[in-house]
Structure 1
């Protein structure tokens, strides 16, 4: 079942910059992990922001088919309240989404243990490293269990254990039926984990499909996603 259908004709940040991204069309199905990859400045973050209605100009349609909380968004740059501790952030998220105290205690204990944040749950995020701030964002989003996750460059700043923990959380949510759209430069992770890969350049989709389909399109049997990606970028000039 499609949880998200995206048909964006154009989107941008100002009236003079309408075509930052153009002709972005794809779906995210229940239980599916979709990887959005491309060079720096290709428009990956802009695509996510356009879907979420965070751009001043978006022409097209975005359709969610949901039963519970619509979505959770983990931006590339962590966003938090300076005067709230990690635990208070979780309490705030629980209050907003009407998560009962017993459920909050159980879910948060699992998340904080997995993400190695138990010892700092009463600390302020301003004292955290970028990786720890990123793990706070992950904990908040996975606490509320939405139908669709939007995750923008989540592995930046994460150590290998934290990256493994995030992948574990994503896979658990996929089994529950959640859909996940993730933008990443970590091509090896995308190759191993994504059901579908969307490659964009200069604000438009260049190609999409399973990893095997992209291999076939590149005529590179047995090649890595890294090799396929670089061949595609070289052909684009």
Structure 2
């Protein structure tokens, strides 16, 4: 497995206005086979970082590479190397679950045999077998979220960018998603995961990046962050509270 980071963000500053950046000098990387938890309060800049990675926003300064490629120099290679699960489901109302998954697989150039085996696996995993031919407009919010997850995972890119995926999922869906992400990680995939449910991700992520007011205030394993801040023995949620309160 290569030691080069799958995702490299260097000196990134950006936001919605040139005169008022949301992000300030963000440096982060995600290695092959690594799951990183990006955590912060509402408005800290987590989704803004993800939008820059996805190319939905242009950086004021800095550089983002995925597998060594920039979106400007190699848009096809860059975009094909990542997959995204948004916080809110975005589906075509007149398409079925099966059509969404197949459409995504075709967009990523997934082989037909791989598509069939993966879609079947995902339908079983998320208990959507009886919904595959249902229009998305007839699904509950939780089921719509499962469709977004299935679409992201039917491809096998190097990097998964996942923004608050647990909203709307039932406990079985959350557990299935976490277990599947662990399997992906073991196969060498990289995951950047944003979540407010810190007790859920504490035992799944390899490292954490704590974002506050558009800046990274600390990063590392739970033990490393606890040691550097002098708060050993705390849970991730307790540690986050201490860090953010101190950063106000």
TM-score (norm 2): 0.91
Per the alignment, in what secondary structure is the counterpart of residue 122 of structure 1? coil
Alpha-carbon contact 2:18-2:60 (below 8 Å) kept: no
Aligned length: 236
Q: Is the 8 A contact 1:8 1:62 kept in 2?
A: no
1:123 corresponds, among 108, 112, 134, to 134
Aligned partner of 2:29 in structure 1 is 27
Shift of 1:52: 1.7
After TM superposition, list the pairs within 5 Å mapping 1:111-150 onto structure 2.
111-150=122-161
Q: Which residue of 2 aligns with 1:53?
A: 55
Find the counterpart in structure 1 of residue 45 from structure 2: 43
Counterparts of 1:162 and 1:93, CA distance in 2: 21
List per-residue Cα deviations over 1:53-112 (Å, max 9, x = no partner). Answer: 211444210111178931001111111111110000111112222223222211111000
| Distance in 2 separating the partners of 1:22 and 1:154 | 25
Equivalent residue for 1:7? Answer: 10
- What's the TM-score, normalizing by structure 1? 0.95
Match of 2:72 in 1: none
8 A Cα contact 2:12 2:59, kept in partner:
no
Equivalent residue number for residue 242 of structure 2: 231
**2:13 counterpart SS class:** strand
Q: Which structure 2 residues correspond to residues 172-211 of structure 1 after superposition, within 5 A?
A: 172-211=183-222
Q: SS in structure 2 opposite 1:82?
A: coil
Matched residues in 1 for 2:12 and 2:109: separation? 36
Q: Which of 89, 105, 112 pairs up with 2:116?
A: 105
Q: How big is each residue's C-alpha offset from its partner over 1:113-139, in whole Å with a ceiling of 9 and x where there is no partner?
A: 000111111011122122111110110
Match of 2:226 among 215, 218, 223: 215
Alpha-carbon distance, 1:189 to partner: 2.0
1:66-85 pair list within 5 angstroms: 69-85=80-96
Q: Which runs of 5+ in 2 are unaligned?
A: 69-76
Q: Determine whether 1:160 maps to 2:204.
A: no
- For structure 1, the 5+ residue unaligned runs are none
Q: CA deviation digits over 1:1-39, x for unaligned, max 9?
A: 21111014311113343x111111011000000000011
- Separation in 1, partners of 2:27, 2:109: 34
